[in-house]
Amino acid sequence: MQTEHPAAPRPLSSSWLHPSRARAWAARVALLVASVASVATSMSGPPPVVVESEPGVLSLSPTSPTARVALPVRMFVPNGSKQTVWATMRAPLFVKWTPDAPGDEAQPIVKAKLVFGPRPVKESSSAPVTAGDAGAVRFEALSDGDVCQLEQPCEWEAALELSLQDATLQGTVDVEWRMVVEVSIDDTEDSAPDGLEVLVGPR
């Protein structure tokens, strides 16, 4: 009669790491993740430069169904720069309708164009506006803008054009507006050019 002996314990798999080795691998992974995040951040480039105009109000009515405002835009570096930047523009709009007759249920729509730079102009439309403060709406006019090589100053005229879709409405539509220029710096640059100035509107 043979006596069976218990099997010898199997050696631990090489894939099981000693706690100290596991911590070392965790540290390496954390360092790798941090390095990737750092590279991604450095590749995103400096933040854009944003400049706003003074606000204003344009009024539309059956007798004046269109309105336009134009502002000069100037960008320069006092001593010049070899950097090239991209300038885009938007015009946030707040539309309020005051009908001549209380209780008028008409819902005017305002259309807007923002002309800035050489690219095709996009037309934006508001949602239907109902009377009073509660019926006011917000929307934006947008422009793709233009490139500026900062060795020389860049100058444009930015024009906001508004129109009332239904000119038979009886009342006044007031549109609060402002123009916002956003200057994007190339991803390969560490910062905006020293002394960069962006002016929107008369100086």
What is the tens place of the pLDDT at every residue in 151-162? 999 999 999 999
113, pLDDT greater than 50? yes
The pLDDT of 96-124, averaged and rounded, is 92
Alpha helices, DSSP H only, in 44-188?
none
Local structure of residue 43 (DSSP, 8 states)? H
Two tokens at 50? 């944003």
**Residue 2 pLDDT class (50, 70, 90 cuts):** very low
Share of the chain above pLDDT 70, in %: 78
The number of residues making up the chain comes to 203
pLDDT of residue 44: 65
Going by C-beta distance under 8 Å and a sequence separation of 6 or more, which residues neighbour residue 148? 75, 84, 85, 86, 87, 154, 183
- The region of weakest confidence among 59-68, 89-98, 128-137, 188-197 is 188-197
Is pLDDT larger for residue 12 or for residue 104? 104
In tens, the pLDDT along 154-191 reads 999 999 999 999 878 899 999 999 999 999 998 888 88
Residues 6+ apart with CB under 8 A from 176: 55, 56, 57, 93, 94, 95, 96
End-to-end CA distance of the chain, in Å?
110
Best CA proximity match to 188, nearest among 89, 88, 84:
84
d(CA 66, CA 102): 24
Read off the tokens for 174: 């007031």
